[in-house]
Structures are given as C-alpha cells and as structure tokens.
C-alpha cells in the first residue's frame, strides 16, 4: 500500500461517517467541523438517500421555517442522527457542555433536548484523556439515559475519540476498536470511567482512498466558508 | 408606531433605551453590527440580552463595552475561536448575570410570545442540571396523558423582548423587510414590542405585492424603524454576498483576551 498523508481530522471524519451510515437525515450543530465533514462524506456515500443539515451553512439547509424547524423535526422523531461533544463525558453517557469549576465552555446549545429525542446520537470528542472522560460530569447538560418516567426516544449509540470507538448500550460504554497506535491498556490508562471491552476489539479502520479524495476535495471546499482554519488543516495534510 | 421612511443608523441605535431587554440573532443569522457599534458609541448600559438562540461576537463586544447586565442564551462562542474572551472575563470578574438556556427553549419562548400565550411545553431537558438551574421553567404532568402515564413535560415561559435588532437584505418604502429563509426573525419580530432593522438596500416597489418576495417578507406591521447600512453585518457574514472577514475575527479573538487589547480594537472599529 502506498504512503498516504491522512490527517487526524480526515481519519476521524471517516470514522464518524460510518457511525451515521444508514441514516436518512443528520444534523450538525455549532462549532463542529469534523462532524460536518463526516456528514458530507456520508452524504456522498449514501448517493442521495441522506439529507444533511449543517447549522450556519446556506448550502446544507433543507429547512425553510426558521431556527425552530430542525428542533420540531427532531421532536417528531424525523431526525435520525445528531453529533454531540462535551467538555466532559462520563460513563453513563451524560455530557457537560457548560462548565467545570470556574472554567466556562460555550454552552448547552440544543443538547439537553436533542439527546433525549434523536435515536442515533454520536458522541464525539477528539481529546481522549482523564480530563475529558471523567467518572462523573460536573454539570449535566444532557443525559445519556433517563430520567425514569420521562418521554424519551433518543440517546447515545456510539462515542468516538482521538484514540478509540465505543458503543453505548444499557447505560454504559463498550470499547469496540482502537485507533492505530492504541491498545486496550493505553485506552484504559487515559479513560476516567469504567467500560466493557468487545470480544474482538479491532484496529479502527481509517478512510479509503476515495474518502480522502472526497474529504480533501469537494468537502473541504464546501466547508471552507464556515470553518476556514479547520479546512486549511484538513487540506494541508499536516497532523493537527 | 412606525417612523416614516428610513432613519440613520445612529437614530435607530439611539432609540434603544438603557435597561432594554434586547433580542439578537446568532452570528449566522443577520447581525446588525453597524447598529451595534452605534449603540456602543452612545454608551448604552444595563442591556438584558436574549440570544436567538445563541450569541457571539456582537454580545462579546457589548459585554466588553460595559453595556450588558444580563445574558440569556443557549451558547456563547466566537466561531472556531470558542468562548468569547470578554464574556469569559466578565464571568470571572462577576457582575454579569447569565441565564443559561438551550436553543429550542429560546425559540419556544418567542413562539409563546408571538402567540400571546403564557408558555409552550417542550420535550427533552428533563433531569438535567440546566433544568435544575431554571426555577422559571416548571415541569408539569401532561394533563392530556392517561392516568397511568406521568409524562412530565417542561414549560417554557413566553418572552416578549422590548427590542429586536437585526440586519436583513431589503426593505421597501412601506417598511416591509425581506428576511428570506430567516423565519426565526419573523417569530422574533412578532414577539418583540419594537423591531429595528438595518438593511443592505432599499427595494423599489412594495415587497408584499411581489408573490415571489412576499412569503419571505416581514410586514411593516411589526417593524418600528429601518436604517440602510450596506455591509452592516461586518465583520460577520451576511448570506453568500458578504463572507465573514476572517482576518478581523481572528484578530478580535486574540486582542480581546486582554483589557488593553480589547480597548484598542474597539476604538479602531468604532472609528
């Protein structure tokens, strides 16, 4: 196999794109360049069967009734997939987008609502450390499951980091694949919560040649107006 | 009551009183930056900002200029640069009251406002610390659910901002404003007591009489004042015609990390 210059961003975008394979609709929120690239990659692969909404992008907006429409669409159960990050993520799938101690994050955005309503929530945070993957979040912006008695149709299905991919089932995470250079032991050392390990944890598959061409060509061009610095990194081919 | 004909940007900004509850769109949604510079020049104080649904550069500038008392918003970031530096500094120093929210709640509050009803119920949010911090968001049992089903649901109280301020593409002589796809600006204007709009240009003829333009038009009924401000969203983007000035934005997020740096870039932008 020939040497390829795969940026970390391109690698993660390809992994995230697989997490939404089979969806008919996906939305991407604020400050989410890698998920936006992933959604556009999945759109190319789905050959017209996936509709992508990228907040702030005039060209990827299927909605015509204002900012509320995507949220109404989600509450009706029409939105299949959404990406959420977290300043902190814990082993119950709860995420913190607001603050730890006196450190402030940007805010909760749509998370407290969408986490409960979108069936395929993909949690994504590139930094995989005990600072981010904590035993218990300081502030619950959105819950991975529950509370008991509440109407709920959504929740996390997977967690992708810069080191690994986890599946979320029965209120907890299972390690399913490690990115190149990582092992179950190195993942455990950097993770602040307990997790199960799949019977056959494999190396995470990166992008195909076609994925890379798409990411560094049409997808980078499409995202440049929204994420100029990210696009430069994706194109330059230098590791972030 | 609507002022006849367009006014100056300074007159428009000057009509926003100190202490007003002022609703502002997100950075991608038509931000009236030229009017915001005028508002800062006139030394506005004690504004109570409401993000539709989130906040960014405009709010960071107003906070840095000492114009803001409270901020209710679903998020506060400068694009790829993260949390606004003046916002972060004000939180550290104390004195800025923040009411954290979530995007659909900001929209629902205005929808209740435009309907003239006291609240709208909203799914999700239950069991979060966000909800725990909002004593003003009651949780009730769905009164239409069966006996055996508790079905708790959150109520978002209506919001009627004193003033809505945004930038749009076109206005006509009658005061109709073309907002195109930005329908949340219509909801905002319906809910607000006074709506002030800066526009790129004046439209010859009446927008409501053009069947292609009318569906994207906010009627003059809701528009208190219009000012013409070409490029009035700078340095933020406005549609596809005015891309963001990425250089200026990057310079701001660096400079505004210190008091002196912020003072210098603000002085430059207010010139």
Whole-number pLDDT of residue A226: 87
Q: Flag if B77 and A30 touch (Cβ within 8 Å).
A: yes
CB proximity A33 to B under 8 Å = yes
* pTM of the full structure: 0.96
Does A237 have pLDDT greater than 80?
Answer: no
Does B127 have pLDDT greater than 90?
Answer: yes
Confidence of residue B2 (pLDDT cuts 50, 70, 90): low
Q: What was the ipTM of the complex prediction?
A: 0.96
Q: Architecture of domain A8-156+210-227 in CATH? A: 3-Layer(aba) Sandwich (3.40)
- pLDDT tens, position by position, B52-93: 999 999 999 999 999 999 999 999 999 888 999 999 999 999
As beta bridge partners, residue A113 has none
Does A3 have pLDDT greater than 70?
Answer: no
Concatenate the DSSP letters of all residues of B27-44 into one string: TTS---HHHHHHHHHTT-
Does A239 have pLDDT greater than 60?
Answer: no
Q: How far is A70 from chain B (nearest CA, A)?
A: 9
Q: Where are the domains of chain B?
A: 9-102+159-270, 123-157
Q: Where are the domains of chain A?
A: 8-156+210-227
Confidence of residue B203 (pLDDT cuts 50, 70, 90): very high
Which residue in chain A has the smallest CA separation from B108?
A: A68
Q: How far is B139 from chain A (nearest CA, A)?
A: 11
Please say whether the beta carbons of B173 and B207 come within 8 A. Answer: no
Nearest-Å Rg of the Cα atoms of chain A is 17
Half-sphere exposure of B5 (CA within 13 A, CB side): 2
Q: At a CB cut-off of 8 Å and minimum separation 6, what does B249 contact?
A: B57, B78, B79, B81, B235, B236
Which CATH number describes the domain made up of B9-102+159-270?
3.40.1080.10
**B-proximal residues of A, 207-226, CB under 8 Å:** 225
**How many residues does the structure list for chain B?**
271
What's the mean per-residue pLDDT of chain A?
Answer: 93
Task: Quote the CA–CA distance of A141 and B80 in Å, as a whole number.
Answer: 21
- Which residues of chain B have a CB within 8 Å of the CB of A107? 54, 73-77, 100
Whole-number pLDDT of residue A2: 41
- pLDDT tens, position by position, A19-62: 999 999 999 998 899 999 999 999 999 999 999 999 988 789 99
Does A74 have pLDDT greater than 60?
Answer: yes
| Burial class of residue B101 in the structure, from the number of CB atoms within 10 Å of its CB (0-12 exposed, 13-18 middle, 19+ buried) | buried
């Amino acid at each position: 196999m020939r040497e390829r210059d795969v940026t970390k961003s391109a690698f993660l975008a390809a992994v995230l794109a697989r997490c939404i394979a089979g969806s008919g609709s996906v939305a991407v929120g604020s400050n989410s360049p890698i998920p936006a690239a992933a959604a556009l990659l999945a759109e190319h692969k789905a050959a017209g069967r996936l509709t992508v909404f990228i907040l702030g992008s005039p060209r990827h907006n299927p909605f015509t009734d204002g900012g509320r429409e995507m949220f109404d669409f989600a509450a009706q159960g029409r939105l299949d997939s959404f990406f959420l990050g977290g300043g902190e993520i814990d082993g119950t799938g709860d995420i913190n987008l607001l603050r730890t101690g006196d450190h402030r994050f940007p805010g909760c955005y749509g998370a407290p609502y969408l986490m409960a309503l979108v069936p395929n929530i993909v949690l994504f945070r590139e930094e995989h450390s005990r600072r981010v993957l904590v035993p218990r979040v300081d502030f619950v912006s959105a819950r991975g499951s529950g509370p008991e008695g509440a109407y709920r149709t959504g929740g996390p299905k997977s967690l992708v980091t810069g080191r690994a991919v986890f599946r979320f089932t029965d209120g907890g995470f299972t390690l399913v694949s490690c990115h190149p250079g990582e092992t179950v032991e190195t993942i455990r050392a950097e993770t602040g919560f307990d997790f199960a390990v799949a019977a056959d944890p494999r190396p995470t598959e990166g992008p195909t040649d076609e994925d890379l061409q798409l990411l560094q060509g049409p997808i980078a061009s499409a995202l440049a107006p929204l994420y100029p610095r990210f696009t430069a990194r994706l194109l330059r081919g230098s590791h972030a | 009551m609507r002022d006849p004909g367009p006014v100056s940007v300074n007159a428009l900004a000057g009509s926003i009183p100190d202490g007003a509850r002022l609703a502002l769109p997100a950075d991608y949604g038509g931000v009236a930056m030229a009017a915001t510079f005028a508002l800062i020049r006139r030394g506005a104080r004690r504004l109570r900002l409401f993000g539709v649904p989130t906040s960014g550069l405009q709010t960071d500038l107003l906070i840095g200029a000492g114009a803001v008392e409270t901020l209710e918003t679903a998020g506060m970031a400068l694009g790829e640069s993260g949390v606004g530096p003046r916002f972060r500094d004000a939180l550290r120093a104390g004195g800025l009251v923040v009411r954290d929210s979530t995007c659909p709640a900001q929209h629902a509050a205005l929808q209740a406002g435009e309907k003239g009803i006291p609240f709208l119920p909203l799914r999700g949010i239950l069991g979060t610390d966000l909800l725990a911090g909002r004593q003003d968001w009651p949780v009730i049992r769905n009164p239409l659910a069966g006996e055996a089903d508790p079905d708790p649901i959150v109520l978002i109280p209506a919001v009627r901002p004193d003033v809505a301020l945004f930038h749009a593409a076109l206005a006509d002589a009658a005061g109709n404003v073309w907002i195109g796809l930005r329908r949340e600006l219509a909801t905002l204007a319906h809910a607000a007591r006074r709506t002030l709009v800066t526009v790129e240009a004046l439209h010859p003829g009446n927008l409501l009489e053009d069947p292609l333009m009318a569906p994207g038009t906010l009627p003059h009924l809701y528009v208190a004042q219009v000012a013409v401000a070409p490029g009035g969203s700078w340095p933020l983007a406005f549609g596809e015609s005015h891309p963001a000035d990425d250089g200026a934005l990057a310079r701001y997020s660096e400079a505004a990390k210190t008091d002196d740096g912020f003072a210098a870039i603000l002085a430059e932008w207010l010139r």
